Amino acid sequence: MEDVYNEIYSLTEQIPAGKVSTYKRIAEALGDPLAARGVAEALSINPLPVKIPCHRVVHESLMLGGFRFGIEEKKRMLEKEGIAIEKNMVKAEIFDDFRSTKILEQMKNEQEKMSKKVELEDSDFELIAGFDVSYYERFAKGALCLMNLDMEILEVRTGYDLSCMPYIPTYLGFRELPLFKKLSKGLKNVLYFIDGNGIMHPRFCGSACMLGLEANAPAIGVAKSKLLGEISENRVIYEGRQVGWKKNNLFISQGNKISLQKALELTEQFSIYKTPEPLRMAHINAHISKQR
C-alpha cells in the first residue's frame, strides 16, 4: 500500500525557502484538491518539522493557518526566510511547481477498475462480522467481531498498524485495507458489515466494496453520513440510480455480493440498537484510549 503521508511530506520538502504553498496546492499535486484537510492533518503530525518545512504551508487565502509549535513560531520562521506577514496574511510568491506521482489520481483509477468487479446479487453466508478502525495520529487499531446468525459472539480479533494515509473522504478503503486483510485472514462464508459506504460513492466503490472484494464475500456499507445523492423517502438516489437507503441516522449501501433490498433487510435483522450488532461490537473493541 502506498504511503500517502510520505508523499505529502515529500511534496512539502520541495517548497523552497522564501516561498510558500497551500494545503490545496499540495492536495492538487496529490491528485485531488478535496484532500486539503487531509494534507493539513498530515502536516499537523509532521515527524521532522525542520527537514519537512510545513511552516511554509498556509491557507489558500494566504492566512497563516496552524502550526504545531504555535502561530508566533511559524511567523518567526517565515520572516527569517524573508517572507513579509501583515495581520497574519503572508506576502510571498506561491510555489506550485511540484514533482508528483499523483497518488490519489492513481487510487481513483484503481477504484474505478474495482467498481466493475463488484457483484450486486445475493450470495450465501453462514456467519456475520463487523469491522471498524479507530485512529490516533498515525496509530490505527482495527477490530473484527465474528458472530453466528443468532448474534452470539464467536471471536473478536484486534490488530494494530501504522496508518498509510490521513482521513481523506472517498479513499477510506485504502486506509482500512491493510488491517482488514490481517484480521479477516482465514475466514470463510462470512457477511461483513463495514463502517463506511459501499456503492454510495462517487466512483461506486467505497470501503465496503473494496473490503468485500478483498474477502470475495458479501459486504454491506453502514455509514453515519451521506456521502452523496438525494433522499427520496428512505431511498438515496445518485445520478438517477438508487445507491442506498436511509435508516434512522444511518446510510446503508451494497458493498459486494448483496442486493439492494437484502442489504436493508439484513441491516435491520441484525440490529438490536441502531447499528448492526457485529459492527457495534467491532466499534467498541476498536476504541483507542488516549489516556496517558
**Annotated catalytic residue within 54, 164, 205, 209:** 54
Number of Cβ atoms within 10 Å of the Cβ of 24: 19
Calpha distance 254→242 (Å, rounded):
11
Helix (H) or strand (E) holding 264: helix 260-269
Q: How far is it, in rounded angstroms, from Cα 213 to Cα 118?
A: 7
What are 238's three cell numbers? 445518485
Helix (H) or strand (E) holding 252: strand 250-256
Q: Catalytic site residue 54?
A: yes
Contact between 76 and 85 (Cβ < 8 Å): no
Q: How far apart are CA 180 and CA 142, in angstroms?
A: 8
Is-contact 197 253, C-beta < 8 A?
A: yes
Q: Which of 4, 44, 221, 70 is nearest to 136 (CA)?
A: 44
Q: To the nearest 10°, report the CA torsion of 63, 66, 69, 74.
A: -10
C-beta separation of 257 from 263 below 8 A? no
Q: Which residues are catalytic?
A: 54
